[in-house]
Amino acid sequence: MAALSAVARSAGILEFAREVNRAMRWLAEDPRTMFVGQSVRYDGAAIYASFEGVPMEKRLEMPVIEDFQLGFCIGLALIGKIPICVYPRLDFMLLAMNQLVNHLDRFCEMGDYRPKVIVRTRIGAKTPLDAGPQHTGDYTQALSLMLRNVHIVKLTEAAEVVPAYQRALYAAESTLLIEAPRV
């Protein structure tokens, strides 16, 4: 019985990963989009595989400078681009809270600025291998208390992935998508 549930879990994770890749390839078709972050152009984290088929000219690799990365994406948004700001783990995005809360979320309250950024991140798995305490934090609830103007979506099922990224592309506001497939 345990072997069957492990097989089902693996199949579910693979289906989720396929849908994320499909969403990334679909986003890449829009001339306004650009993928900015860690492991978007060079392998170094599991998230890299989700960009297979996304043209390299649409990807900008960033060093480990999370706060600057989101600020850079806000700047891109202000000139008409739609950046997909990628953080391999939600835990790493904590270093960008200044840009997320005080800038991206509040710009629309300070005038006619409406920068639109799609922020993409993941919550690391605890099974079958525990990624550790610095890679598995779920801060979705805390973020929902802090953010007033950025739409937050926690993705747990493969069927939710593509529609959520489509909504994010067409929405007027910025969106934070947190990938957390059920395992």
The two tokens of residue 53 are 């088929």
pTM exceeds 0.85:
yes
**Mean pLDDT for each 10-residue chunk of the chain (183 residues)?**
55 89 98 96 91 97 95 96 96 93 89 90 76 76 95 96 98 95 75
Q: How far apart are CA 68 and CA 100, in angstroms?
A: 11
Q: Which residue has the tokens 């693996």?
A: 10
Decide if 67 contacts 95 (C-beta within 8 A): yes
Cα separation values, 113 from 46, 85, 124, Å: 34, 19, 33
Alpha-carbon span 53 to 51, nearest angstrom: 6
Q: Which helix (H) or strand (E) holds 86?
A: strand 82-87
Best CA proximity match to 47, nearest among 86, 1, 16: 86
Helix (H, G, I), strand (E, B) or coil at 123: coil
CA distance 91 to 106: 22
Domains of the chain with CATH codes: 2-179 (3.40.50.970)
For residue 35, list its beta bridge partners. 59, 84
Would you state the pLDDT for residue 152?
A: 97
Whether residue 23 contacts residue 53, with contact meaning beta carbons closer than 8 Å, is answered with no
According to the model, what pLDDT value does residue 108 have? 85
Report the amino acid identity of residue 20.
V
Provide, rounded to the nearest whole percent, the portion of the chain with pLDDT above 70: 90
